[in-house]
Amino acid sequence: MSEKHQATENNSGADSRSKLGQETANVVTFTTGSESGRFLGLEATRAYLFPDSSGPSPRSWSDWRAKGYFSIVKIGGRVFCDPSIVRAELTERFSIPAVTTS
């Protein structure tokens, strides 16, 4: 297959996705409208928010998703998360306010 034909074939798939967003390796970035968020797959979101081993296990992460601890977006049968929204929701859920004594 010639290089020109490969480039045309590769670009044709990208044109159909550019209307809603572009997907690259479990990352969907919306480029139009008010959707300025960056969406990652579930495991990519977990790795992004908890880069070292201090984060939840994959099983706990899956349980949190099932219990609705953080928002998800389903696009074409795949599940994505906006890391900034997930961080805010987990912070709100798991933060323990300081107790002031008088």
* C-alpha to C-alpha distance for 34 and 38, rounded to whole angstroms: 12
DSSP-derived 3-state class of residue 25: coil
Query: Higher pLDDT residue, 23 or 97?
Result: 97
Confidence of residue 2 (pLDDT cuts 50, 70, 90): very low
**Which residues, 6+ apart, have CB-to-CB distance to 49 below 8 Å?**
55, 83, 86, 87, 90
Closest CA to 47 of 67, 29, 26: 26
Q: Chain-centre distance of CA 36, in angstroms? A: 13
For residue range 46-84, list pLDDT tens digits in order. Answer: 999 999 888 999 999 999 999 999 999 999 999 999 999
For residue range 8-50, list pLDDT tens digits in order. Answer: 444 444 444 444 445 555 665 554 443 447 899 999 999 999 9
pLDDT score for 38: 86
pLDDT score for 9: 45
For residue range 82-92, list pLDDT tens digits in order. Answer: 999 999 999 99
